[in-house]
Structure 1
Amino acid sequence: MSRRAARCLAILCLLLFLPGCWDVKDVDNRLLETAIGIEPAGGDRVRVWMRFPLPQSQDGAHKDFFVIKQEGSTVIEAIDQLRLRLPKSLDMSQNQSIFLDQALAKKGFMPYLEFTIRDRTVPLDSLIAITTGGMKSIFERPNPTGELSGIYTKLFFERYGGGTSQKNVVSLWEIFRGYYDPLEDCLVPVLVTDSETIFRVAGNAFFKNDAMVGMISPEETLIYEIVTGKMSPFEIETADKMNLKILNSSADIDTDMRSGKPVIRIHAKLSMTLMDSARGIDIKAEHLEASINRLIEQRAAAVFRMTQAQESDIFGLGNRFRGKVPPSQYDRWSKLYSKATLEFKLDSELRNTGLQLRRRPFINPSKEK
């Protein structure tokens, strides 16, 4: 083959990649939505909310976002109806978060979120949250700190922003992983409207299959963070009116099968430092460590009871039994988890207490009589 013919053949091969770009619409002809809300609309119908960021006006007199809502018998039908109303092409590739009403979550999220997998237009790293109180205030109020639509929710949950251990962050792909994996279930944050900051965390919902079956408080979420190794180093725990900063944590998990029942032993360790004392009293490290151990162990026992009663393994402990339970029994793991023997032991270490302000009658007299 001559050099000229080889060059022509190479050019023809490159032309094969061009048709994939011809159907892409110009960005000026697309509306990029950044947040989706799904709530019941009466009967079997649903209402879909969408929020679009807009270029901010020069005079600042107008909102920097556009909100639209649409009802339909299914989520897909509502989205199709939205497309008929919009002057530009609907683009969901920049979505940042999906809000699902708690009433729908209790029925099961699959009928309302399955479109994201089948349509493949919504990013799988979109954040998921359960909401109560309706979508109106969440979607129609401007962000109090000035971020664009969708970015506020990302910053609220992500650890590089305002995320803490009490704000469990869950992506779209993680909630489907928990649904399709019989050896673990998912934990999704529950938001309620707030008069100053749009919303706040009320707790974290746990699921069995795709239905919400219960909720743990933000304080109880600390147990989930410790066991799963997601603990934030900036979490503050209070015991005996002392503020403590948890610097790091670790958990050793030992599993076994006895008489056909799982036996799970969790040995957690916390390293802490003292932030302040509310009463300025002398502090004994041993007493404070014992108080923290007792508080968190009692809280862990309560969380284990709740999740076992609902057969929801939010900790993913079933994955540690893959070599001990035959694959044919994986579908029975929720039943096995509910009957498992769970032991949680905590050893905390107070690394330093800093300078202690002792009470002296002539410097800071007690107000207590």
Structure 2
Amino acid sequence: MKRNNRFKLFIILTALTILCGCWDVKEINLRTPPVLIGIAKGNHDEFKVTLYVPITQRGKTETRIVTEQGNSISNILQQMQTNSDDALDYTQVQFIVIHNNLAENEEEMGKLVRLLMEFEQLPSKALVAFTDEDIEKMMSNIEKVIGVHATSIQDFFYKGGWAPEVSSTRIWELYQSLYSYTKDINIPIVVSGQDTVLRFEGSAILKKEKMVGRINPKENLLVNLFHHRNATGEIESLGSAGMIVKNSSLHIKSSMEKDGPLVSCSLKLKIKVMERKKGVTDKQIQEELEKQIEKQFNKILEQAQKNKSDIFGLGQHFRNQIPYQELKNWREDYYPKLKVNFQVHVSHL
């Protein structure tokens, strides 16, 4: 009797060992993680998806650029997984570049942003950018410059203190902007470089799902300052001098007045002059730089108010001053009446 019980116990334990196995799991070395995904409008209302995939075979790593077209982006991504020799693992994607032929389509752009956020395999922290360049050509150029080390592409968007005009946007931030009443978003515009991985061309201003304008890198720097970035490392050039920003700080004060909302902004810059024309004084450089930046800010703000796109996120400062039920009307009722007193104060090291 005991012998039979032991035999039954052995059979049960053996069965449990088999059942505990993960039947649908691929070994890590069989997973293929695409680093970049490019998305564009193809022919005949189809979508075109391009993957930049490092492939390891026989101890050697190479890159493969794969493109497919179809009527649905999610279906294309799924089909690519089905047709791949190894298991495509989208959870490691670091960068998604969207062609402007899709980004400029308001309806399609809204659908795409929601898909990127809801597609469970894609990490919401992946970076997003727009491009005017053919995506396959862009990836071919990236391959020539960095090859399998495409993970270094994130370094392009995080340059610390030496390229503060470059901005970065993640999937979750893009998705969040669709539902914000008081803040719009700037999306980096990039093209491939000749000897560098990418070249920063400025940013697209996205109001909800709609692209309403573009700003150049210098203008993008000002926008970055309002989103808690620093201008340290920025090179400024005047007709009479060249200088580098060593430190910056921005102070914002908001209030509701009888004739509408008012924002007072004070931008303080500490600069070091690197070169100047003969006879040009520190005071002249200071005054000229202050006027140049103030003029630049007012130009961006004027265009933004015409587009009713709050690219500086100034509405964020009135969330406690405007009743919640009226915040949804910020762009239409309050923002066009907004007055901004923007002053720049330059000092020398």
- TM bin, normalised by shorter chain, reads 0.7 to 0.9
Select between 324-333 and 192-201 the one with higher mean Cα deviation. Answer: 192-201
2:67 to 66, 69, 73: 69
SS of corresponding position for 2:264: strand
Partner of 1:325: 322
Partner of 1:88: 86
SS of corresponding position for 2:146: coil
What fraction of aligned residue pairs are identical, expressed as a percent?
Answer: 24
Verify the 8 A CA contact 1:143 1:152 in the aligned structure 2: no
Residues 90-239 of structure 1: matches in 2 within 5 Å?
90-108=88-106, 109-146=109-146, 148-160=148-160, 164-197=163-196, 199-239=198-238
SS of corresponding position for 2:74: helix
Per-residue Cα deviation, 1:67-104 (whole angstroms, up to 9, x for no partner): 11111112102112212321122201111100011121
1:232 Cα shift? 3.6
Per-residue Cα deviation, 1:255-301 (whole angstroms, up to 9, x for no partner): 11223622111111111111223x4x134111110010000000001
Partner of 2:252: 253
Aligned length: 329
Could you list the runs of 5+ residues in structure 2 that have no partner in the other structure?
A: 1-15
Verify the 8 A CA contact 1:144 1:197 in the aligned structure 2: no
SS of corresponding position for 2:244: strand
**Structure 1 vs Structure 2 CA RMSD:** 2.4
Verify the 8 A CA contact 2:219 2:297 in the aligned structure 1: yes
Distance 1:21 1:253 in 2: 55
Distance 2:34 2:335 in 1: 40
1:348 Cα shift? 0.6
Select between 221-230 and 298-307 the one with higher mean Cα deviation. Answer: 221-230
Verify the 8 A CA contact 1:250 1:270 in the aligned structure 2: yes
When residues 269 and 21 of structure 1 are mapped into structure 2, their CA distance, relative to the original with a 3 A threshold, is farther
Verify the 8 A CA contact 2:226 2:312 in the aligned structure 1: yes
1:304 Cα shift? 0.4
- Where is the helix percentage greater, Structure 1 or Structure 2? 2
1:296 to 272, 293, 297: 293
SS of corresponding position for 1:206: strand
1:20 Cα shift? 10
Distance 2:296 2:114 in 1: 35
1:52 Cα shift? 0.8
SS of corresponding position for 1:181: coil
1:30 Cα shift? 1.6
Verify the 8 A CA contact 1:65 1:149 in the aligned structure 2: no
Select between 240-249 and 182-191 the one with higher mean Cα deviation. Answer: 240-249
Select between 245-254 and 291-300 the one with higher mean Cα deviation. Answer: 245-254
SS of corresponding position for 2:121: coil
TM-score, normalised to structure 1, is: 0.82
Distance 2:279 2:162 in 1: 33
Verify the 8 A CA contact 1:255 1:262 in the aligned structure 2: yes
Verify the 8 A CA contact 1:74 1:112 in the aligned structure 2: no
Verify the 8 A CA contact 2:162 2:234 in the aligned structure 1: no
When residues 21 and 308 of structure 1 are mapped into structure 2, their CA distance, relative to the original with a 3 A threshold, is farther
Partner of 1:51: 52
Distance 1:244 1:291 in 2: 12
When residues 219 and 269 of structure 1 are mapped into structure 2, their CA distance, relative to the original with a 3 A threshold, is same
The residue type paired with residue 169 of structure 1 is: S
Verify the 8 A CA contact 1:57 1:64 in the aligned structure 2: no
Distance 1:20 1:260 in 2: 69
1:145 Cα shift? 4.5
Partner of 2:311: 314
Per-residue Cα deviation, 1:224-266 (whole angstroms, up to 9, x for no partner): 1333330241111111342211111111111112236221111
The residue type paired with residue 101 of structure 1 is: H
When residues 51 and 106 of structure 1 are mapped into structure 2, their CA distance, relative to the original with a 3 A threshold, is same
Distance 2:24 2:79 in 1: 22
The residue type paired with residue 77 of structure 1 is: N
SS of corresponding position for 1:294: helix
Verify the 8 A CA contact 1:155 1:163 in the aligned structure 2: no
Distance 1:52 1:131 in 2: 20
